[in-house]
Every structure is written in structure tokens, then in C-alpha cells.
């Protein structure tokens, strides 16, 4: 049995989520090998993350959250992603899930996010998952994959189609079956540990299931619907959708991974002299030019993302609803940032040479992680098609806007 580890202490908790993330980043980076090996966030780091209120960036202030602007959220995610991508992914997923508090009555939301160690996880929307209406709520049986952070989650969510007591589908105004997210405590949930993957191993994004559980109506959510927003959702943050939250958070994470790889390459270049040469990597004019271009790619992608988010935030702060142009702008900036981050990371990995392939170094795990990030829905290249349709004056699919 391993010896008990000393708790991770931060000192006084400051108001700025970015500053809190920076203070904790060395401890996150030090824990990265354990996170990778155990496929979960270790207990001592998890306690420090909760103590620093890192999970509470997008939770309403009335529940003890920061309710911070998306630009701040991106910068926090960037810091976390540079330290460890799996930790950042878990934080990003739980943070955006917590935006669903805006669509619940306060008492029910407090039940989920009131405890200081609260974390909600949910997985992919799957066909065939049904919640059957019963008096006071729903009976739910279902299985969902990709519960990032599920190994430390206190609550889970399951996206379901709704079925009336007589078996008929509940239909919306468009004539299509209505979907709703059921929230249930972790004690009702069974995890199936199948998370054997190339990258983002530490997220423990297992499959989870529930069997014939009762979910009260108050613990169900139809998020991103204006008519469903409650008192907790009055702030400008909740005029933005969870789609915008995921786009912002995971692009910030990708930028953080790339930043870590680029910084590691600069450090290596100052020290490494490749075999059969007499000069350091840092003295190679081709690499100097390549580094400058990679740095420019990273800065431009980051600046475009932050600008798009700032413009949307200004609209929300003024009480307005984000325009279609602004939504398309977020989609373009976020998807572009993820792919530019991958290109920057690929440059650093390739030019580091054989040094990059060792698990003990700063490149190998980040390389796997950034490529795993690009496989997620926020990085789909067909988002560029959606943006292009809008720019051409056509009507794009609004699903990821």
C-alpha cells in the first residue's frame, strides 16, 4: 500500500478563476503521471481543485459559483490544459454541465450544486434512451457513453426522449419527440470501466447506466431553451448556450496543450544539439522561422476566439440575445482554434525529433491528448461547412450554433 500523500494547499482562495488555476497548475502538472496511470483525478488533487473552487466557474453566484464571462473561462481552461489535458477536460465538462442550473428552480439546483465537492457528469445523446412519465416525474432506464469525470461525479445526467404514461411520445411544437435531461445521484449509477483510449486517459470517460430509477420533475432539465430559464439564469452568462460553453472551454483546452508543447520545444531547442550536427536546434534558421510561424498561429487563433467571445458577452451584458452572426463567429473561432492548436502541437512534436517519443518527456502525452481533443464534436471539420453556408447567405444547420 502506498504512503498517504500530503494534502495540496493553496493558501487563501482568490476571486479570479484564472489566478486560482495558475496557483494550482504546478500541483496538477506534478500529478499528471498518476492521472494518466489511474485514469482518474487522484483524491488529493481533486480535493485541492474543490478547495480552489475550480469546478465552480460557470455555476450561478447564488449557488456559490463565479458565473464568470466565457473569455475568463477560456483563459482558465488554457492554464489547466497546459498543466494536464485530462484535468482540464474534466473541469470543462463539469463546468458547462453546471450551466444547466440556470434552467432549474433554486431548491433543486442547490440539491445538486450546493455541496462544495459537487460535480455533474453526463455523456452523449444516444438514440433509444427513454424517460417514461409517472406521477411527479419519470421512470428511467438507460445507458450512455463518455461520462467524462464520472469517477468523481456526485451527480449524473441522462438525455432522454419523453414518453407519456400511455406509451405515446411527448411531442414538441415541431411535431418531434421532446428530449429532456434527467439528473440523478451517483449512488443510482453503475459505471462500466471501458475507457481504454489513446489520449485524455485521465478523464475516465466511462459508460454509465441506470435501471428503473425515479427522477422527480424538478431534477430534469431542458437546457438552452429561453422559456425554460429560471431565476438562477438571469445573468448574462446564461444568455449563452451550453454549446457556446463547450466550444469555448474545449478550444481553450486545446490552446493550453499547444502552449505547453511550444514552450517545451523552446526549452529543448536551447539545449539539444542533434547528432551529426554542430549546432543547437535553436541556431537552425529553418526552425527559427517555423517557431515564429507556429507562435503566430497560436496567438492569432487565441485572439480570434477571445474577441468573438467578448463581442457575444457585450451583447449578453446589455440584455440582448446573441445574433446568428455572433453564434457563427463563435463556432468558427472555436473550431479554428482547436485545429490551429493541433497544427502548432504537431510542429513542436515533429521538430523535437526522437526526444518527443518518450513517455517521461513533455511531448508524448500532450501529442496524444491534442489528437484526442480533435476527435470530439467541437472539432468536427464539417463545422467549417456550416460557417461557409452562413457566409454564402444560406441557412445552416443550427445544431452546433
How does pLDDT run across 141-157, given as a tens digit for each residue?
A: 999 999 999 999 999 99
Longest dimension (CA), the chain: 80
- Say if residue 102's pLDDT is above 50: yes
Q: Which residues belong to CATH 1.20.140.10 in the chain?
A: 240-400
Report residue 274's pLDDT band, with 50, 70 and 90 as the boundaries. Answer: confident
pLDDT of residue 276: 79
What would the grid cell of residue 7 be? 494534502
Percentage of residues in the chain having pLDDT higher than 90 = 85
CA distance readout (Å), 259 to 2, 188, 346, 370: 34, 40, 12, 11
> In sequence order, what are the beta bridge partners of 179?
161
Burial 342-360 (b: 16+ CB within 10 A, else e): bbbbbbbbebbeebbeeee
How does pLDDT run across 357-391, given as a tens digit for each residue?
A: 999 999 999 999 999 999 999 999 999 999 999 99
Report residue 172's pLDDT band, with 50, 70 and 90 as the boundaries. Answer: confident
What would the grid cell of residue 163 be? 414518453
pLDDT of residue 8: 60
Report residue 14's pLDDT band, with 50, 70 and 90 as the boundaries. Answer: low
Question: HSE-up of 375 (CA within 13 Å, CB side)?
Answer: 10
- Say if residue 248's pLDDT is above 60: yes
pTM above 0.75, yes or no: yes
* Class of 120-222 in CATH: mainly beta
Cα angle 141, 215, 145 (rounded to 5 degrees) comes to 45
Gap between the Cα atoms of 166 and 134, Å rounded: 10
> In sequence order, what are the beta bridge partners of 155?
120, 185
CA distance readout (Å), 344 to 113, 184, 213, 328, 378: 37, 40, 47, 24, 18
pLDDT of residue 243: 94
Cα angle 3, 7, 10 (rounded to 5 degrees) comes to 155
For residues 7 and 309, the model is more confident at 309
- Say if residue 46's pLDDT is above 60: yes
- Architecture, CATH, for domain 240-400: Up-down Bundle (1.20)
- Say if residue 12's pLDDT is above 60: no
How does pLDDT run across 105-135, given as a tens digit for each residue?
A: 999 999 999 999 999 999 888 888 999 999 9
Cα angle 103, 240, 120 (rounded to 5 degrees) comes to 50
Checking DSSP bridges between strand 120-122 and strand 155-163, what pairing results, if any? Answer: parallel
Sign of CA dihedral 318, 319, 320, 321: positive
Q: Which residue, among 204, 302, 224, has the nearest Cα to 259 in the 3D structure? A: 302
Instruction: Report the CATH number of the 17-113 domain.
Output: 1.10.540.10
Q: Which residues belong to CATH 2.40.110.10 in the chain?
A: 120-222
How does pLDDT run across 71-91, given as a tens digit for each residue?
A: 999 999 999 999 999 999 999
Please state the three-class secondary structure of the chain as a single string. CCCCCCCCCCCCCCCCHHHHHHHHHHHHHHHHHHHHHHCCCCHHHHHHHHHCCHHHCCCCHHHCCCCCCHHHHHHHHHHHHHHCHHHHHHHHHHHHHHHHHHHCCHHHHHHHHCCCCCCEEECCCCCCCEEEEECCEEEEEEEEEEECCCCCCCEEEEEEEEECCCCCECECCCCCECEEEEEEEHHHCEEECCCCCCCCHHHCCEEEEEEEEEEEHHHEECCCCHHHCCHHHCCHHHHCCHHHHHHHHHHHHHHHHHHHHHHHHHHHHCCCCCCCCCCCHHHCHHHHHHHHHHHHHHHHHHHHHHHHHHHHHHHHHCCCCCCHHHHHHHHHHHHHHHHHHHHHHHHHHHHCHHHHHCCCCCCHHHHHHHHHHCCCHHHCCHHHHHHHHHHCCCCCCHHHC
Q: Which residue, among 117, 75, 114, 74, has the nearest Cα to 96 in the 3D structure? A: 74
Report residue 251's pLDDT band, with 50, 70 and 90 as the boundaries. Answer: very high
- Say if residue 4's pLDDT is above 60: no
Report residue 15's pLDDT band, with 50, 70 and 90 as the boundaries. Answer: confident
Weakest-pLDDT range from 8-22, 212-226, 261-275, 351-365 = 8-22
Q: Which residues belong to CATH 1.10.540.10 in the chain?
A: 17-113
pLDDT of residue 6: 62
Helices 70-83, 242-269: inter-axial angle, 10-degree rounding: 40
Amino acid at each position: 500500500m502506498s504512503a498517504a500523500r500530503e494534502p495540496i494547499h493553496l493558501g487563501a482562495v482568490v476571486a479570479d478563476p484564472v489566478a486560482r488555476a495558475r496557483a494550482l497548475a504546478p500541483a496538477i502538472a506534478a500529478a499528471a503521471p498518476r492521472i494518466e496511470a489511474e485514469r482518474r483525478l487522484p483524491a488529493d488533487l481533486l480535493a485541492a481543485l474543490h478547495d480552489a473552487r475550480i469546478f465552480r466557474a460557470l455555476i450561478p453566484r447564488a449557488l456559490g459559483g463565479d458565473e464568470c464571462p466565457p473569455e475568463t473561462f477560456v483563459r482558465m481552461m488554457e492554464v489547466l490544459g497546459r498543466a494536464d489535458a485530462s484535468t482540464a477536460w474534466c473541469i470543462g465538462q463539469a463546468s458547462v454541465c453546471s450551466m444547466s442550473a440556470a434552467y432549474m428552480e433554486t431548491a433543486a439546483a442547490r440539491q445538486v450544486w450546493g455541496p462544495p465537492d459537487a460535480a455533474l457528469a453526463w455523456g452523449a445523446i444516444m438514440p433509444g434512451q427513454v424517460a417514461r412519465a409517472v406521477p411527479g416525474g419519470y421512470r428511467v432506464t438507460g445507458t450512455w457513453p463518455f461520462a467524462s469525470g464520472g469517477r468523481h461525479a456526485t451527480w449524473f445526467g441522462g438525455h432522454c426522449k419523453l414518453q407519456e404514461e400511455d406509451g405515446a411520445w411527448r411531442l414538441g411544437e415541431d411535431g418531434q419527440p421532446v428530449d429532456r435531461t434527467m439528473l440523478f445521484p451517483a449512488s443510482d449509477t453503475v459505471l462500466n470501466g471501458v475507457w481504454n483510449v489513446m489520449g485524455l486517459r485521465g478523464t475516465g470517460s466511462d459508460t454509465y447506466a441506470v435501471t428503473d430509477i425515479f427522477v422527480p420533475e424538478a431534477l430534469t432539465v431542458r437546457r438552452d431553451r429561453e422559456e425554460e430559464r429560471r431565476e438562477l439564469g438571469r445573468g448574462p452568462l446564461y444568455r449563452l448556450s451550453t454549446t457556446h460553453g463547450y466550444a469555448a472551454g474545449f478550444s481553450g483546452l486545446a490552446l493550453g496543450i499547444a502552449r505547453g508543447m511550444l514552450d517545451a520545444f523552446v526549452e529543448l531547442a536551447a539545449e539539444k544539439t542533434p547528432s551529426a550536427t554542430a549546432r543547437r536546434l535553436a541556431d537552425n534558421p529553418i526552425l527559427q522561422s517555423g517557431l515564429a510561424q507556429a507562435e503566430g498561429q497560436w496567438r492569432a487563433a487565441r485572439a480570434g476566439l477571445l474577441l468573438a467571445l467578448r463581442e457575444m458577452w457585450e451583447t449578453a451584458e446589455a440584455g440582448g440575445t446573441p445574433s446568428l452572426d455572433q453564434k457563427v463567429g463563435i463556432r468558427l473561432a472555436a473550431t479554428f482554434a482547436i485545429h490551429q492548436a493541433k497544427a502548432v502541437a504537431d510542429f513542436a512534436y515533429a521538430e523535437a525529433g526522437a526526444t518527443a517519443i518518450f513517455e517521461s518527456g513533455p511531448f508524448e502525452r500532450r501529442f496524444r491528448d491534442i489528437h484526442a481533443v480533435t476527435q470530439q464534436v467541437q472539432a468536427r471539420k464539417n463545422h467549417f461547412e456550416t460557417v461557409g453556408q452562413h457566409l454564402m447567405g444560406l441557412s445552416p444547420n443550427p445544431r452546433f450554433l
